[in-house]
Amino acid sequence: MQATQTTEKPLTQVKSQKDLHKEVDASGAWSVAQIEALFALPFSELMFKAQETHHANFPDGDVELATLLSIKTGGCPEDCSYCPQAARYDTDVKANKLLDLDEVLEAAKAAKAAGSNRFCMGAAWREPKDRDIEKVAAMIKGVKALGLETCATLGMLEANQAQALQEAGLDFYNHNLDTSEDFYRSVISTRGYQDRLDTISNVRAVGMSVCCGGIVGMGESREQRAAFLARLANLSPYPESVPINHLVPVAGTPLENQKPLDPLEFVRTIAVARITMPRARVRLSAGRQELGRAVQAMCFQAGANSIFYGEQLLTTGNPEAEQDRELLAELGLKTKQSCKAEVLV
Point out the residues that are catalytic: 76, 80, 83, 120, 151, 211, 283
* Contact in structure between 172 and 209 (CB atoms under 8 Å): yes
Q: Which amino acid is at 131?
A: R
CA 174 to chain centre: 7
Residue among 162, 187, 167 at smallest CA distance from 177: 187
- CB hemisphere CA count around 194 (13 angstroms): 0
Q: How many CB atoms lie within 10 A of CB 262?
A: 10
* Contact in structure between 218 and 258 (CB atoms under 8 Å): yes
Report the alpha-carbon distance of residue 259 to residue 247 in Å, rounded. 10
DSSP letter string, 277-343: STTSEEEE-TTHHHHHHHHHHHHHHTT--EEE-SSEETTEE---HHHHHHHHHHHTPPBP-------
Q: How many CB atoms lie within 10 A of CB 283?
A: 24
| Residue 268 DSSP SS3 | helix
Rounded to the nearest 5 degrees, what angle is found at the Cα of 293, between the Cα atoms of 287 and 294?
A: 110
Q: How many CB atoms lie within 10 A of CB 134?
A: 12
